[in-house]
Chain A
Amino acid sequence: DGGITQSPKYLFRKEGQNVTLSCEQNLNHDAMYWYRQDPGQGLRLIYYSQIVNDFQKGDIAEGYSVSREKKESFPLTVTSAQKNPTAFYLCASSIPTNTGELFFGEGSRLTVL
């Protein structure tokens, strides 16, 4: 089955620690995205990548970092510089055109203790 796999589903972090969220897709999509979802707000774009070894900042990139070494993988690191990291994180992928349909993973919930 083709799809997007995010791990872990739940993650707890102490203040001052970096954590990395995994996103793997087998849809053969070139474009991948990371979104953050907070209660009562629309999804906000953190980073996106249209092709391997290239990525761009989204609307709320501060305190986050990404890499895109393989087409299938787009991990997101939440650094200690992110002031309010507790949120639901969603990874998505699409073909890299303006008409592409977006597909999402099941999400990762990060809680800072």
Chain B
Amino acid sequence: KQEVTQIPAALSVPEGENLVLNCSFTDSAIYNLQWFRQDPGKGLTSLLLIQSSQREQTSGRLNASLDKSSGRSTLYIAASQPGDSATYLCAVRGNEKLTFGTGTRLTIIP
């Protein structure tokens, strides 16, 4: 059974700093990994999707990497801004099933 872990559960960072969020998974037989952002009381917004054959994806200040063999993905946020404050979730797609982590709540301190 796939298990997805995101540590830490919460993170506070001063504005302007670069930061890395972590996602680990136990079964490396995956099709893709997706990073989402969730604001309080809102739905999930897709940030980046990495297929199993890819090593990384970039969108603006965001860069996501995938290392299937070690069961890890990272989301790198450059030059953080207060608007980046949200909960970030990763989800791993295995055979017909998507497994979510419980998320990292990120607070950017002005």
Contacts and interface: CB of A to CB of B under 8 A. Distances in A.
A2 interface: no
B34 to A, nearest CB: 6
B81 interface: no
A40 B43 contact: no
Nearest to A109: B41
Contacts of B44: 90, 92, 104
Contacts of A103: 46
Contact of A98 (B34, B96, B102): B96
A105 interface: yes
B26 interface: no
Contact of B43 (A42, A90, A101): A90
A95 to B, nearest CB: 12
A104 B102 contact: no
B31 interface: yes
Contacts of B41: 88, 107, 109
- Which range contains the number of A residues in contact with the other chain? 20 to 34
B56 to A, nearest CB: 16
A106 B42 contact: yes
Contacts of B64: none
Interface in A44-101: 45, 88, 90, 92, 98-99, 101
Contacts of A107: 41-43
Contact of B102 (A6, A40, A45): A40
B99 interface: yes
B45 interface: yes
Given A90-B44, A107-B42, A107-B43, A102 B102 contact: no
B94 to A, nearest CB: 9
B100 interface: yes
B71 interface: no
B98 interface: yes
Contacts of B102: 40-42
Given A41-B102, A103-B46, A105-B43, 4 more contacts: A45-B98, A98-B32, A98-B95, A98-B96
